[in-house]
Amino acid sequence: MVKMVETEVECCKIISEDIENASVIEGSPELGLIGNIVGWLLVEELKMKEIGHIESKYFPPLAVLYRGVAIHPFRIYSVDELVLFLSDFVVPPNVTYDMTNAIVDWMERNNSKEIITLNSIAVRQKTNGVAGAANSPEGLKRLGDLELPILPFGNINGLSGTLLTRSISRDITGSCLFAEVLNQYPDPRAAASVVDVLNRMLDIEVNPEPLLKEAEEIESRLKELANAVKSEGESPAYI
């Protein structure tokens, strides 16, 4: 029987297996749902195993259905030397600080190699590029070696940003990948761009094609909707 270890702080608790020497990815649904979309693709494509979850009385009253089965809304997955913290809801601000400490405690105990957080940046015109930021000069060099543009200024919201700063005190290398999005709606095409970068960063092989197909379907439906609205808005001609 696998031993489950608890990491508890004031307002939340991690219940999971210990996985040592892993790279850790955090995915939560910020703007464009990039972290959530990428996270689910990693779970499916890499056949990741659920090794635990995070619970808190401050979480929204929510269960997630996966193939008809109710699962925890904030789960932890693992495969080989990769761990994924995946949330299906936006973590409340009053929980973020303590939860970040719990995650960093978990990482320190397991000698995790690094933390990679996934986020997005709103742009007026997309190039489907990915930008980066890091919590150390070494992290910046790694992103530079991948030829990623670096965001020199700005704010990183939510769990993603707090993890970057809290991991500094534990000497854990952290980086953040920013996908380009136009608005708050799910953007699988932007998420596919992040997957391409993760493949190079972590030497994994995740096929982004399902996301590109989903993006084409969404774009097709939006085009049909726009045409329908345009047609309905045209004034009838009278003789």
**Residues 6+ positions from 119 with CB-CB distance below 8 Å:** 30, 31, 34, 35, 156, 157, 158, 160, 161, 176, 177, 178, 179
Instruction: Please name the residue that has the structure tokens 């200024």.
Output: 153
Token digits for 27?
A: 């995915």
Instruction: Encode the chain (239 residues) as per-residue pLDDT tens digits.
Output: 677 888 888 889 999 999 999 999 999 988 889 999 999 999 999 999 999 999 999 999 988 998 899 999 999 999 999 999 999 999 989 999 999 999 999 999 999 999 999 999 988 888 878 999 999 999 999 999 999 999 888 888 889 999 999 999 899 999 999 999 988 888 888 999 999 999 999 999 999 888 888 877 766 665 666 666 666 655 454 44
Transcribe 24-71 into DSSP letters: EEEE---GGGHHHHHHHHHHHHTTPEEEEEEE-TTS-S--EEETTEEE
Q: Is the CA virtual torsion 61, 64, 69, 75 positive or negative?
A: negative
Query: How confident is the model at residue 191, as a pLDDT?
Result: 92
pTM of the full structure = 0.88
* CA 156 – CA 79 distance, rounded (Å): 28
Fold of the 5-230 domain: Rossmann fold (3.40.50)
Report how far apart the first and last C-alpha atoms of the chain are (Å, whole number).
82
Please give the sequence-ordered ranges of beta strands (E in DSSP) within 103-238, or none if there are none. 114-122, 130-134, 173-181
